[in-house]
Amino acid sequence: MVNLTAAEEKELWSKLLESDQEYNSRSSSRESEVSGMRGFLLIGAAALLLAGCGDVSNGVAGQYQPYPPSVSVTGIGTAVGVADMAVINFNIDVSDIDAGSAVDEATELAESAIAAAAELGVSEEDIETVGYSLYMEEEYDYNTYEYTGENIYHLTHSFSVKVRDIDQAGDVLAALVRGGATSVGGINFTISNRGELIAEARDLALIEARATAEQLAEGLNISLGDPVSVSEWIDYYGYDNYGYGGYDDYYYDSPPISPDNSSVTLNVSVSYAID
């Protein structure tokens, strides 16, 4: 189906009438019945075409409305707060020729590490599994450059621990290693109630976006209307990370850790209608 606007319909009728007049002027010598038949066919063709167009009031003009004029701007807001919680990530890594033995050993080490953290007041609800993998590979002898035919099972159990008493972060980290953690992926400092920090950053971003829009409106001599669209996204910056291993060549004392400020940067994109 072809949809025509009112202007396109008018133009079509005009061209058809011009064509008919030109034809009649060049065919004045023809018989009157032939001319009448020509006019009848012309009107019929136009009627069929317009019937296929449907209701022009609901045509192209109704279906494909252009976007209203608008001003699009962005704003950035950054809120800073003092970190009050530490998040420690640690792993239990075990390798054994027997899968069952690897699972048993990893379970024993994990329970020991969790108990060590609990002794320092960490709630079990703040300790969660974030990864668990077990895979097999054939042992390779790097001296003979041949596979030995022995299968080795590698198991990794990963945990995340929230330390709400940030002053104990170093003690908890050391306790985890003493309890059985084979590696610590890092320690991150954050704010327990990040919602308030995000709300503050959003307010700042909206203020900046509005100020930019008003400046553009003044420079272009236009009037701003209501917002017609808005979107936001957050920039996540990594906080201070401290790696810490649980092998023989590492120490088991609490490492010196100094938490830093935590920040949230939020971006908004706003489009204002032009009145």
Interval 239-254: pLDDT, tens: 444 444 443 444 456 6
Q: What pLDDT was estimated at residue 261?
A: 75
Q: What pLDDT was estimated at residue 106?
A: 97
Cα–Cα distance, 76 to 207 (Å, whole number): 9
How do residues 157-202 score in pLDDT, each as one tens digit?
A: 999 999 999 889 999 999 999 999 999 988 888 888 889 999 999 9
Q: What pLDDT was estimated at residue 248?
A: 41
Measured CA distances, 125 to 109, 138, 177, 190 (Å) = 19, 38, 20, 18
Cα–Cα distance, 11 to 50 (Å, whole number): 13
Evaluate if pTM is beyond 0.75: no
Q: What pLDDT was estimated at residue 190?
A: 86
Q: What pLDDT was estimated at residue 259?
A: 66
- Model confidence at 257: pLDDT above 80: no
Q: What pLDDT was estimated at residue 24?
A: 57
- Model confidence at 108: pLDDT above 70: yes
Enter the tokens of residue 156: 């990794």
Enter the tokens of residue 85: 């919680």
SS3 labels along 104-131: HHHHHHHHHHHHHHHHCCCCHHHEEEEE
Enter the tokens of residue 265: 């940067």
φ, ψ at 48 (rounded to 5°): -65, -40
**Confidence class of residue 256 from pLDDT cuts 50, 70 and 90?**
low
Mean of the per-residue pLDDT values of the chain: 80
